Amino acid sequence: MTILDPADMRTATEKQAAPLGAGQTVAGEKHTATGLARGSSPRPPASNSFLDRFFQITKRGSTLAREFRGGIVTFFTMAYIVILNPLILGGFSAQNAPTDVAGGWLSAAQVGAVTGLTAGVMTVLFGLIANLPFGLAAGLGINSFLAVAVIHEVTWPEAMGLVVINGILIVLFGATGARTAIFKAVPKELKAAITVGIGLFIAFIGFVDSGFVRATKGGPPVQLGTDGSITSIPTLVFIVGLLVMGILVARKIQGGLLIGIVATTVLAAVVEAVMHIGPGSAANPGGWHLNTPVLSGQLVSAPDFSLVGHFDLFGSFSRIGGLAATMLVFTLVFTNFFDAMGTMTGLAKSAGVAYKDGTFPKLKSAFIVEGLGAVAGGATSGSSNTVYIDSAAGIGEGARTGLASVVTGLLFLGSMFLTPLTSVVPLEVAASALVVVGAMMMAQIREIKFSKFSVALPAFLTIVTMPLTYSIANGIGVGFISWAVIHAASGKGKKVHPLMWVVTVGFLIYFARGPISALMGA
């Protein structure tokens, strides 16, 4: 992510340890997923510390400080899920919580506890086994799907049983190599487009979360702020944070994103103390989104793990029938499978650990552990856990190994006891980091040959569909379908891998699952 400049006045040792993107060079040394290319100058001597050797920190051009810093930044950009997931899945009473078909509901406090527990355990596990700086937590797409659609047909335990089945299938795909084979069948231009699309997507998320971009009731779908102007103080804090982080990163200040997050959070706390803005609501549209930057009341509380193991594996099949339950599982698997695949593609490229074909070290292990995250999320009733695109913030800070994930995971485990502290950072501050990182990820667009329209159109559709539909899986699906059809129709069908056709058919079913279910009476 960091581009070295000849005028950079850091020491030679610092330059050698600086994180590089795939293919970048310094003094004739070509960076690859496993270190420096053969025949180049020798890399800096590795540290004798256990952490350095286990996580290959020096080998990947990183340092202990960068890994710890990156892990902390990733946690702060992901910490909102500990607050948001309970609001989506649960509530403080049946009146303000999503109720299932039998009238059951989940306690927000209990959902918060298992959200931190599962994210912490799975992120640490991912760091230790896959050795990649990716954080895992409850996926926002799937938890919303469960709360809005699934529980109107089944109970919460039955819905979580479907999530567990979804995770088991994904683990099997990973263990048998099917997921890896599909990953390798994707053309490198589409993989680059997925990375760029994710960058645009997370930047758009940042703009929306901060209130910089808002939906309209008439006219264009979205607009700048309120009525085309910035009138919210929290949105102004977002703009300040964006500029501060942008300046720090542009000046190559080590820890720029973390410094920016902390500094902007302090600014937000001061603004709130002076102006008493309060949380955003229908009555207070100019308030803070999700978190209000105030420390008050009890700072430490014991987590309640009552939801662990509270799932019914096959109850939904007897309640709504095998066909309807299978269609729900199909939707979960496709969303989980390709969201994670696209996210890991983009993150690996951003971290500079991707090979030329887009794969990365311990690919199979990463797929298996990510699938276990779905199993664990369903088993704890916190929803499927998956790799988070917000991890790009930690990568932008310099994280290159699983040590950063271990740091992030331990902080998630700590968040179970310190929920008030995790809620201090307002969403507007995290949004600033997402926009900066989104800009960094856009650099991969140089790998797409836009001069070839058979490549340009599928890549373009992949990139724009992600933010416009708020779904990574949708962007990948549109890209796959358009790539296969255009290449076949233009006489280049032999260049389309057979697995691309298989997945294309799967995506056609995925996009038409509503009418298909209706026709089949599901």
Indicate the pLDDT class of residue 91, thresholds 50, 70 and 90: confident
Q: Show Cβ contacts of residue 164 under 8 Å, excluding neighbours closer than 6 positions.
A: 311, 313, 374, 375, 378, 379
Predicted pLDDT at 330: 82
**Within 10 A of 286 (CB to CB), how many other CB atoms are there?**
14
Task: Assess contact for 4 and 26: CB atoms under 8 A.
Answer: yes
pLDDT at residue 9 tops 50: no
156-176 and 178-185 helices, crossing angle to 10°:
70
CB 351 within 8 A of CB 107: no
- For residues 32-67, b (16+ Cβ closer than 10 Å) or e, as one string? bbebbeeebeebeeeeeeeebeebbbbbbbbbbebb
Buried b or exposed e, range 141-151, using 16+ CB within 10 angstroms? bbbebbbeebb
Burial class (CB in 10 A: 0-12, 13-18, 19+), 362: middle
User: Rounded to 5 degrees, what angle do the CA atoms 134, 371, 23 make?
Assistant: 40
Tokens 């690996």 belong to 348
Residue 9 CA from chain centroid, whole number? 34
**For the ranges 146-150, 179-183, 263-267, the one whose mean pLDDT is highest:** 263-267
Average pLDDT over residues 401-411: 97
Higher pLDDT, 346 or 404: 404
Encode pLDDT of 270-311 as tens digits.
Answer: 999 999 888 877 788 888 877 788 876 666 778 989 999 999
Cα separation, 136 vs 121, whole angstroms: 9
What pLDDT was estimated at residue 220?
66
Question: What pLDDT, on the 0 to 100 scale, is given for residue 157?
Answer: 96
DSSP 8-state symbol, 444 = G
* Other beta carbons less than 10 A from residue 239's beta carbon: 15
Instruction: Please report the pLDDT score of residue 47 as a whole number.
Output: 58
pLDDT-based confidence at residue 55 (cuts at 50, 70, 90): very high
Q: Identify the DSSP state of 139.
A: -
**What is the reported pLDDT for 291?**
73
Q: CA 412 → CA 55, 118, 123, 407, 416, distances in Å?
A: 20, 9, 9, 9, 7
Q: State how far the Cα of 371 lies from the Cα of 164, in Å rounded to an integer.
A: 10
pLDDT on residue 473: 76
Residues 3/24, Cβ–Cβ less than 8 Å = yes
Amino acid letter, 110? Q
pLDDT at 391: 92
CA–CA separation, 155 and 22 (whole Å): 47
Mean pLDDT to the nearest integer, 336-344: 83
pLDDT at 347 over 50: yes
For residue 170, the 8-state DSSP code is H
Contacts of 418 (CB under 8 A, 6+ apart): 299, 300
Q: Which residues contact 465 (CB under 8 A, 6 or more apart)?
A: 197, 471, 474, 475, 478, 479
Among the residue ranges 78-82, 240-244, 463-467, the one predicted with the least confidence is: 78-82
Can you give the length of the chain in residues? 522
What percent of the chain clears pLDDT 70, i.e. is strictly above it? 85
Q: What are 169-198's pLDDT values in tens digits?
A: 999 999 998 888 888 888 888 888 887 887
Of the candidates 487, 505, 371, 425, which has an alpha carbon nearest to the alpha carbon of residue 78? 425
250 CB-contact burial (10 Å; exposed 0-12 / middle 13-18 / buried 19+): exposed
371 C-beta neighbours (distance < 10 Å), count: 28
**Distance set, CA 471 to CA 67, 115, 268, 425 (Å):** 29, 22, 30, 25
Supply 409's token pair.
């995971």
**What is the structure's pLDDT at 423?**
64
> What would the pLDDT profile of 419-467 be if each residue is shown by its tens digit?
666 667 788 887 888 888 788 878 778 888 899 999 999 999 999 998 8
Listed as own residue / partner, the contacts of 28-35 with beta carbons closer than 8 Å and 24 or more positions apart are: 31/61, 31/352, 32/355, 33/352, 33/353, 33/354, 33/355, 33/360, 33/361, 34/59, 34/361, 35/59, 35/60, 35/61
User: pLDDT tens-digit profile of 10-46?
Assistant: 333 333 333 333 333 333 333 344 333 333 334 445 5
DSSP 24-50: -EETTEEEETTEEPTTSPPPPPPP-SH
Q: Identify whether the C-beta of residue 291 lies closer than 8 Å to the C-beta of residue 83.
A: yes
Average pLDDT over residues 140-169: 89
CA–CA dist 159, 312 (Å, integer) = 8
Q: pLDDT at position 82, please?
A: 85
3-state SS class at 520: coil
Is 247 a residue whose pLDDT tops 80? yes
Angle made by CA atoms 221, 443, 203, in degrees to the nearest 5 = 30
pTM for the model: 0.71
Angle at 286 (CA atoms; ends 391, 92), nearest 5 degrees: 70
Phi, psi for 136 (deg, rounded to 5): -115, 145
What is the rounded CA–CA span in Å between residue 388 and residue 118? 14
Give the pLDDT of residue 522. 55
pLDDT of residue 120: 97
> Predicted confidence band at 485 (pLDDT cuts at 50, 70, 90)?
very high
